[in-house]
Amino acid sequence: MEALMAKRFMTIAEFSTETGLPRPTVRNLVRDSKLRGTKVGRAWLIPADEVDRLAALADGRIESA
C-alpha cells in the first residue's frame, strides 16, 4: 500500500498539459490501452512515469505493449 501511495499519478488534464497532447487524445490512448491508467470513480489516473514511456515510444526506443 505504501508503494502505491508514493507513486505519483496525473489526471488526464495534467498529462495533457505535461505532454502537449489534446485531452481527447490522452483519453483515447488510455481507453485503447496504449497508456496505462486506473479509473477511480469518474476520473482516470495515469502514472507519471507514462510521460517517459510515451516519449520513448515516440522516439522508437521501445515497442508498444
Confidence at residue 44, expressed as pLDDT on a 0 to 100 scale: 94
Q: Which of 65, 59, 40, 53 is nearest to 12 (CA)?
A: 40
- What distance in Å separates the CA atoms of residue 13 and residue 2, rounded to the nearest whole number? 25
Count of C-beta atoms within a 10 Å radius of residue 11? 16
Confidence at residue 1, expressed as pLDDT on a 0 to 100 scale: 43
Single pTM value for the model: 0.75
Which segments of the chain does DSSP mark as H helices, in order?
A: 2-6, 12-19, 23-31, 50-59
Which pLDDT tens digit goes with each residue over 12-53? 999 999 999 999 999 999 999 989 999 999 999 999 999 888
Confidence at residue 60, expressed as pLDDT on a 0 to 100 scale: 67
What domains sit in the chain, N to C, each tagged with a CATH number?
A: 2-59 (1.10.1660)
